Structure 1
Amino acid sequence: MDKLYIYLENTLKPEEKRVWERCDKDIMSVFAKLKNIKEII
């Protein structure tokens, strides 16, 4: 995941980066929820 993130950071154009950062917040919140679900189970 981290390598993917670094790769995207380095390859995205500035306008794509803004979109990615918005998406990233959503993605991270989804990952956080999944992590919580795993801990509960």
Structure 2
Amino acid sequence: MIPVGLAFARSLAQKPELILHAPDKRHPSLAGTYLAACSV
């Protein structure tokens, strides 16, 4: 299991200005995709 959700939550708690989701709020942005890849 990849803890991407935890990585997103921790990142947004520390830097709320990060944009981790695309405008549709369902898909990751480029930064969110990178964070997910780093979580593996």
Q: TM-score, normalised by structure 2?
A: 0.38
Max Rg structure: 1
**Bigger RCO (CA 8 Å, 6+ sep):** 2
More helix by share: 1
Q: TM-score, normalised by structure 1?
A: 0.37
